[in-house]
């Protein structure tokens, strides 16, 4: 299949009416295919999940949605509640009429491709487009500047255009509390990218989901390690050592080599930081209580700042006192997270 051979004379098929569908039923319905928000996972660019996570979700081994809702439920709820507002602002800014769509669609030729679109745009020439509505916090606005669209959202829009057989998808993002803090980007259909997406989703669905074969981990290390942590459960220091069965000598030696290189770089970094501190002493002494200074040398000017950083923390010896004296307050203010450190030590057999 090539972009030039894609059959574009089709209409999307209605797979389900989601208007009055409960969330639990909607989540179950999504398992019959790949949705737009999951396309970036298949393409290996999702910042949230691996293909293994998606595989476990589709086969009901470990629901992907439950983990996301536990960790990001407030952000997800804000996004859901503000979708209509994002659409209203879009319509006011562009003059384009938009209409909500409460159907779940599927591609007629690749029926594993499902689509829950936010809104449909009606253009004056009688054609239609799509509107995808997003929100983000103020500190994330840099991801949208200079006509950028986060890559996971771009693939989502391309997935929807493929299923719906439409050539334009606008994506709008509200990142503040007024209509000036708002991005609108237009994404046009690209048949080469669409072909790449369809082939990747087809391979994932057939080779892994239908074949019931776990996909390999190929994503960024931090995402993969987090996925493994989620699926293996809590660490248990009472368990006996595991004997690694694979031939991993080369990987172990490379790991130790990198650890040594890192140690040398850390030592060099500490030397550099020590020299920098030494060089700063006479300037800090002259600053006294001041937080900024200037040094002018001919045509060159150096701006110096020495600003305070305040960090509040609970003293270790007071944590137990807080737990004993005010258990309810302790439960409200203390959060616990578990991390694990991987180390290798070479010994004689």
Residue 58 gets the label, from left (phi > 0), alpha (psi -120 to 50) or beta, of alpha
* Strand 128-135 versus strand 119-122 pairing type: antiparallel
Tokens of 349: 């057999």
Q: Does 327 score more than 90 pLDDT? A: no
Helix (H) / strand (E) containing 185: strand 182-188
Query: The tokens 């890559």 sit on which residue?
Result: 151
208 contacts 215 by C-beta, under 8 angstroms: yes
Q: Is the pLDDT of residue 65 over 80?
A: no
What is the pLDDT, as a whole number, of residue 218?
95
pLDDT of residue 2: 66
pLDDT tens sequence across 286-315: 999 999 999 999 999 999 999 988 887 777
How confident is the model over 4-22, as pLDDT tens digits? 667 888 999 999 999 888 9
Burial 19-28 (b: 16+ CB within 10 A, else e): eeeeeeeebe
What residues contact residue 239 under an 8 Å CB cut-off, 6+ apart?
Answer: none
* Spatial strand order in the sheet of 103-106: 13-17, 103-106, 114-116
- The reported pTM is 0.81
| pLDDT value of residue 71 | 55
Distances (CA, A) of 46 to 4, 129, 151: 28, 25, 8
pLDDT, one tens digit per residue, over 236-260 is: 889 999 888 778 888 999 999 999 9
Q: Is the pLDDT of residue 185 over 70?
A: yes
Alpha carbons 31 and 58: distance in angstroms, whole number: 5
């Amino acid at each position: 299949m090539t972009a030039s051979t894609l059959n574009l004379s089709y209409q999307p098929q209605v797979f389900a009416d989601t208007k009055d569908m409960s969330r639990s039923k909607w989540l179950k319905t999504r398992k019959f295919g790949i949705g737009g928000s999951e396309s970036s996972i298949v393409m290996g660019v999702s910042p949230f999940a691996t293909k293994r996570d998606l595989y476990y979700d589709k086969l009901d081994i470990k629901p992907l949605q439950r983990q996301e809702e536990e960790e990001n439920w407030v952000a997800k709820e804000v996004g859901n509640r503000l979708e209509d507002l994002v659409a209203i602002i879009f319509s006011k800014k562009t003059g384009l009429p938009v209409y909500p769509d409460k159907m779940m669609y599927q591609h007629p030729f690749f029926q594993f491709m499902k689509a829950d679109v936010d809104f449909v745009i009606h253009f004056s020439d009688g054609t239609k487009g799509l509107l995808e509505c997003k929100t983000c916090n103020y500190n994330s606005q840099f991801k949208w500047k200079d006509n950028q669209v986060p890559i996971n959202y771009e693939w989502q829009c391309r997935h929807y255009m493929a299923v719906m057989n439409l050539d334009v998808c606008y994506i709008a993002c509200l990142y503040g509390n007024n209509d000036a803090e708002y991005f609108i980007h237009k994404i046009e259909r690209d048949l080469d990218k669409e072909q790449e997406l369809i082939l990747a989703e087809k391979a994932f669905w057939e080779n892994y989901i239908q074949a019931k074969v776990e996909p390999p981990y190929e994503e960024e290390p931090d995402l993969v390690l987090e996925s493994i942590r989620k699926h293996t459960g809590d660490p248990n220091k009472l368990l006996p050592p595991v004997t690694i069965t694979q031939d991993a000598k080369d990987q172990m030696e490379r790991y130790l080599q990198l650890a040594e290189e890192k140690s040398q770089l850390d030592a060099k970094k500490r030397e550099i930081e020590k020299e920098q501190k030494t060089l700063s002493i006479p300037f800090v002494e002259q600053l006294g209580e001041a937080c900024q200074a200037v040094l002018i040398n001919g045509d060159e000017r150096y701006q110096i700042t020495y600003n305070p950083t305040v960090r509040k923390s609970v003293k270790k010896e007071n944590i137990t006192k807080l737990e004993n004296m005010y258990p309810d307050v302790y439960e409200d203010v203390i959060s616990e997270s578990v991390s694990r450190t991987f180390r290798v030590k070479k010994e004689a057999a």
